Amino acid sequence: MAASDAALIGAVITASVAVVVAIVTQVWTSQRSRIDRQYVSRRAGLAEAQDAMLDLREALAEYGRGIRASQDQPELEAAKRTATGRFETRVARVHDDAVATAMSTWRSAAERSLISVEDLSAHVEDEWFAYVQDLCRAALMSSTGVTTQRDRAGVTVPAALVGD
């Protein structure tokens, strides 16, 4: 084998390796970019859902105060309806099923305790609210933006919620 043949074979091998490395790098970069976009989307969904929870909580409290004061205020009903719609839309964007389920359960507890004409304790609603916030925090701190069973194991379910 001549020196020129060895140089040619070496050049072909080097070029082949460079092509393979370039392809692998492109695939990895594309995958990483997709994962990053997905993570940002999940984080944004969680943050928006938390904001919607706060808005709904305030709207339900205002509506409940209006009912208990025997006030027929259409603007309170409209605010409640708007906040409920925003909440439902934001929860639909949450990628974490455990968080979305907890948010929906919180909503039921909030409607019962904040709107009721009876003087119900807000204790259960407060505990559900705190529980959902803890789940959201766990999801936001996870590497994927979604909680795993291991992440949720670090979130303590309050005793009052176990029976719900």
In a domain, 78, yes or no: yes
Q: How confident is the model at residue 33 (pLDDT cuts 50, 70, 90)?
A: confident
In a domain, 61, yes or no: yes
Type and span of the H or E element at 151: helix 149-153
Contact call for residues 100 and 94 (beta carbons, < 8 A): yes
* 62: pLDDT strictly greater than 80: yes
How far apart (Å, rounded) are the C-alpha atoms in residues 138 and 85? 25
Total domain count, the chain: 1
In a domain, 85, yes or no: yes
* 71: pLDDT strictly greater than 80: no
In a domain, 145, yes or no: yes
How far apart (Å, rounded) are the C-alpha atoms in residues 9 and 3? 10
Residue 69 belongs to domain spanning: 46-162
In a domain, 9, yes or no: no
Q: How confident is the model at residue 164 (pLDDT cuts 50, 70, 90)?
A: very low
Task: Kindly give, in sequence order, each residue whose CB lies less than 8 Å from that of residue 101, ignoring residues fewer than 6 positions away.
Answer: none
